[in-house]
Structure 1
Amino acid sequence: MLRPAHPSLTELELGFRKAARAGSARWPAEAARAAVAAGPARQRAVFASAGRACGRARIAAWPSWTCDDAARLLLLDVFVGVVPPCDAATLLRRLYDRGDAHERRAVLRALPYLPTAAASVALTRSLAEDALRTNDHRLVAAALGPCGYALEPAAWRQGVLKCVVLGLPLTAVTGLDDRADRELASMLDDFAREREAAGRSVPPEIAPLAALARES
């Protein structure tokens, strides 16, 4: 379930129409209908072309979302609604595996909006874990957004630490107040001591985050 801090599908669609490249406001709906009729190969091609078709401008009301993110979410909302759940899950996996960083991020961001029959906890966890194995800021942030609720606690803690290491703002982590715990505090303390022993600066986010985690 998405939390109120995140936009609804309707809010994203409205924001997309205002920010999308001229002439492309209706592109997701039109492209999705044509792609559904043509089959999976066309669906993958259309998904990949969203950035070229709609641009990558930020959506004013939700600036962490770009037009290509929103367009891909709108495409997926149609795709998974007209095929059997197993086929939808296969499509989501292929779009992620074969996509570039923009496309992978869009799949990760879309998962919490899609029916769980297609975007199951197991699939969401698998894709989020894969994203956390990269050092791509876009993918790490997306993996710790709403779909991060599918991560097991140990993987989630490692993801939070990775955010600190990469210098990502912790506002990217959904549910931080709820999930921070003493084990995370211990990991952060160890990391800070290692940095200090090596004569390196300690990221300023560590102290308040570790304090929050110890209070949990």
Structure 2
Amino acid sequence: MARMKFICDTERCIECNSCATACKNEHEVPWGVNRRRVVTINDGIIGQEKSVSVACMHCSDAPCMAVCPVDCFYRTDEGVVLHNKDACIGCGYCSYACPFGAPQFPSNGTFGLRGKMDKCTFCAGGPEENGSQEEFEKYGRNRLSEGKLPACAEMCSTKALLGGDGDVVADIFRTRVITRGKGSEVWGWGTAYGNKAQQDSVPQELAK
């Protein structure tokens, strides 16, 4: 059984925010919630800036699951950490426990009313029937049930953000690190535009 994971290649991320935009557009995310966001480290320091796309990392030992007093978080067979909004009481413990700031309160409710937590679902919906209107209204589109990858990873312009089977994602990233060159070759343009030497040294399915 596949174990779904995200990884962001900081050498490729250009802070275009297409991942965050794709997520909001695909799921009609509540106002005030950013299921995915791009964070820049060492901002403004020439030669040291690194950008990384951050969302729920669907941890194998998720702290949000450990602290939730009503056990609204659960893990699917594919390793995706989801939550049941019907069970959520809005206590916010998960938001304090998560090191990635994934669980968030929406900001479109009445003043002082925080409502149910919202978070990245790896485009896997929720406990309702797959593809149902109720599921979409609460959690967004269930792309995994359609045989698709998360919208954020599919829309990444430089393929910095990878999402899918953890073993496959790790193999792709490992191959990139081993074969990564300098200058423009950090991005793999040689592979994309027919540099024969690089094409011969990298399996095409891993170099993309």
TM-score (normalizing by structure 2): 0.30
Larger proportion of strand: 2
User: Per residue, is there more helix in 1 or in 2?
Assistant: 1
Q: TM-score, normalised by structure 1?
A: 0.30
Higher relative contact order (CA 8 A, sep 6+): 2
